[in-house]
Amino acid sequence: MKNIVILISGRGSNMEAIVRACAAEGWPARIAAVIANRPDAEGLAFAQANRIATNMVESRGKTREAFDAELAAVIDSHAPDLVVLAGFMRILTAEFTLRYAGRLVNIHPSLLPAFPGLHTHARALEAGCKLAGATVHFVTPDLDHGPIVIQAAIAVKADDTPESLAARLLPVEHVIYPRAIRWFAEGRLAVEGTRARLRPNADGNIEPQWLFGEDA
C-alpha cells in the first residue's frame, strides 16, 4: 500500500479526481494527506469531508528555503511514497525537488517542453498553436521539465480564449493525472535517465502514454 501526499494551492479539482479514482478503482494506495500552502485553498474542504488528513503550511512571508524545509517536514510526517503537485503554485527549491527525486510528480497545462511557467494558454494562442494540452511529469530542479509520464492534446478552436481552453482541458487533466498516479501506485512507473518508463500491466498490455481529444 503506497502513501500518496497531495499538495494544492486552490480549487483542488485534480486532487479530487485522484481521490475519487483511488477509491473507485481500488488502487494499492491511500491518500495519506492533502497539504495546502494557502489557508483559503478550497480543496481542503473536500479532503476534510472525505476524512483525509489535511495540513496548511502557509507560504506567504517566508523565504523559499524556509518554506520548503517546513513543507518537507510536514510531508515526511506522512511517510510518502509519492508526492503529487496538483495545482500547487509554488516554485520549489532544487534541494526540495532532489529530496523527492523519482517520487514527485506535477501536472502542467501545456504540451511540455512548450510553455513552461504561467499563462500557458494565452501563450499557446498567441503562438497560433493548433493543439493545446497538459503534461504529467516527474519534477526535477528545472521548472516544468522532467521525465514525461503522459500527455493529452486537444484541438484549438478558432474562437478559443485562454479561459475556454482551460475549461475544455480540465476534464482531460482529470483523466490523465489519476491514470499516471495509478501506474505509479501499481509499481509500473519509474524514471530512467531523462525518460519515464511504463511497464506493462498484469495482462501484459502497455497502455498509451498519450491521449487525444476531449472524449476521454
- 173 sits near ligand GAR (criterion: CB under 6 A): yes
Chain centre to alpha carbon of residue 184:
13
Tell me if the bond preceding 113 is cis, omega within 30° of 0: yes
Residue recorded with cell 502513501: 3
Site string for ligand GAR, 174-203 (x = CB under 6 A): ------------------------------
At 15, give phi and psi (nearest 5°): -55, -45
Alpha-carbon distance 174 to 151, whole Å?
12
Part in contact with ligand GAR (CB under 6 A); list of ranges 8-16, 22-30, 145-153, 203-211? 8-16
**CB 42, min distance to ligand GAR, A:** 8
Site string for ligand GAR, 76-95 (x = CB under 6 A): ----------xx--------
64 labeled binding residue: yes
∠ CA 76-80-81 to the nearest 5 degrees?
A: 140
Which of 49, 202 has the CB closer to ligand GAR? Answer: 49
Query: Which residues 6+ apart lie within 8 Å of 59 measured at CB?
Result: 37, 38, 67, 71, 90
Binding site for (6R)-10-formyltetrahydrofolate: which residues?
A: 64, 89-92, 106
Point out which residues bind ligand GAR (CB under 6 A).
Answer: 8, 10-14, 86-87, 107-109, 134, 170, 173
